[in-house]
Amino acid sequence: MSARVFVARLAGIDVFDPGGEQLGKVRDAVTMLRVDRQPPRVLGLVVEVAQRHRIFVPMGRVTRIEPAQVVLSSGTVNMKRFERRANELLVLTELLDRTVTIRETSAAASVVDAGMEENRNRDWVITRLAVRVQTARLTRRRGQLSQLDWNEFDGLALQESRQGTDTVVAMLSDLRAADVATALLEMPEKRRLEVAAALDDDRLADVLQELPEDEQVSLLAQFADERAADVLEAMDDDDAADLLGEMTQDDQERLLQLMEPAEAAPVRRLMTYEDYTAGGLMTSEPIICLPDATVAEALARVRHPELSPAVASQIYVVRPPAGTPTGRFLGTVHIQRLLREPPSSLVSGLCDRGIGSLRPSAPLDEVTRHMATYNLVAVPITDENDRLVGAVAVDDVLDHLLPEGWRERDEDDDEQEATHA
């Protein structure tokens, strides 16, 4: 695990983008209690930007937490005003000062601070609490200050008997997005909608990407337009473009108008490409570095927990600007090469220029042959001016090569195996 960070000490410290520009200040952290005593996941930070406007920044966007600053992986954030959902808990506002019981001694204590750590899955979880043991009212002593593991307290878990969605959401919190998608498909339609509505935007976006497209459209249509737009913003841009492509033109435009312009722009661009072409398959957010970036900086980008293994397998070096469409594409650096070089080396000297790139109009079979020829798990896509516009990863190629409805057939096969076992 990474070094423990106490949430109360984060209050008021500055939040910066990768370029060193201040975005705002930390005001709180958002978590969600579980039905057992396992440490709860920290979903994100509440950040106050200009004029007391508070927004939500997912923990997946946090690259570094230091004593005096929080650094994000991107300067692009959703500026929608933060609103706490029913199943969420604000750590500083609602968890501190809460009365809990220490299991070993049965002593009552009040929560003073909460320590969070990053686990092996790159999730931030609250692992310890600092508490003050309550004393008799007639004494003047403030009580002993102690630190104990989260699971050493009673009074912090959700009740199993609750009839809402909190229990189900808590039980699904440790599952992979694909497994949560399978669980949703097994629920009655009404219950499926209730559970989906209780998921935070980033979690719901991940789960939607694992559902068949007709189920994605059906589920998203049940939400208010503002929530649907928030979820689309949280999705990978290529998946959001595919989902919008299944809707009517009026629905597409209405939701795109509600999205943040910076989030909608790459989705609009992807929707202009034909299906089963490199442009229709690619993501416009691969890992991009400028020539003066070091190996250490590139590896820090690759470690980002929200990246798929295919996207994280290589970085693309370009001339400024670094956002797609970029400046001139210079070449690809594979992660194996990064691991073999000194941290201070510049990525511009490590580029593999031999594998080339493809145009957005390249058909699926050409993309497949190119990846097979050079043993790639991702391929850069450039326009006629040699500007990088995106990358196609092998998982997107497989999704289009497999027969339609392959997810449902896998589930049917599993049921048949269970029947004959």
Per the model's pLDDT, the better-predicted residue between 352 and 405 turns out to be 352
Number of residues in the chain: 421
Residue 421: per-residue pLDDT: 39
349-384 as b/e: b if 16+ CB within 10 A: ebbeeebebbebebebeebbebbeeeebbbbbbbbe
Mean pLDDT over residues 157-164, rounded? 53
Of 154, 185, 218, the residue at which a domain comes to its end is 154
Residue 410 has pLDDT above 80, yes or no: no
Residue 77: per-residue pLDDT: 81
Is residue 184 within 8 A of residue 204, CB to CB? The reply is no
**Does 409 reside within a domain?**
no
- Given pLDDT bands bounded at 50, 70 and 90, which one contains residue 415? very low
Tokens of 34: 């579980």
Same domain, 189 and 88: no
- Given pLDDT bands bounded at 50, 70 and 90, which one contains residue 326? very high
Span 43-80, pLDDT tens digits: 999 999 987 789 999 998 898 898 889 999 876 788 88
Is residue 238 within 8 A of residue 267, CB to CB? The reply is no
Same domain, 252 and 225: yes
Same domain, 196 and 106: no
CATH of the domain at 251: 1.25.60.10
Same domain, 13 and 141: yes
For residues 8 and 276, give the distance between their C-alpha atoms in angstroms, rounded to a whole number.
Answer: 50
Of 237, 272, 307, the residue at which a domain comes to its end is 272
Residue 139 has pLDDT above 80, yes or no: no
**Does 112 reside within a domain?**
yes
**Does 124 reside within a domain?**
yes
14-16 and 69-72 beta bridge pairing: parallel
**Does 259 reside within a domain?**
yes
What average pLDDT does the structure give for the chain? Answer: 86
Residue 419 has pLDDT above 70, yes or no: no
**Does 412 reside within a domain?**
no
Same domain, 142 and 24: yes
What lies within 8 Å, CB to CB, of 117 at 6+ separation is 1, 2, 3, 4, 5, 124, 125, 127
For residues 377 and 391, give the distance between their C-alpha atoms in angstroms, rounded to a whole number.
Answer: 10
Same domain, 32 and 124: yes
Same domain, 27 and 107: yes
Tokens of 159: 């009740």
CATH of the domain at 11: 2.30.30.240
CATH of the domain at 327: 3.10.580.10
**Does 164 reside within a domain?**
no
Helical ranges in 40-174 per DSSP H:
166-172
Residue 1 has pLDDT above 60, yes or no: no
User: Domain range holding 32?
Assistant: 5-154
Same domain, 9 and 146: yes
Same domain, 348 and 243: no
Of 272, 305, 324, the residue at which a domain comes to its end is 272
Span 74-98, pLDDT tens digits: 767 888 888 887 778 899 888 888 8
Phi-psi region of 18 (alpha: psi -120 to 50; beta: other; left: phi over 0): alpha
**Does 360 reside within a domain?**
yes
Same domain, 204 and 143: no
- Given pLDDT bands bounded at 50, 70 and 90, which one contains residue 163? very low
- DSSP tag of 349: G
**Does 169 reside within a domain?**
no
Span 225-249, pLDDT tens digits: 999 999 999 998 999 999 999 999 9
* Single pTM value for the model: 0.62
Sign of torsion over alpha carbons 155, 160, 166, 167: positive
* Cβ atoms within 10 Å of 155's Cβ, excluding its own: 13
Number of domains in the chain: 3
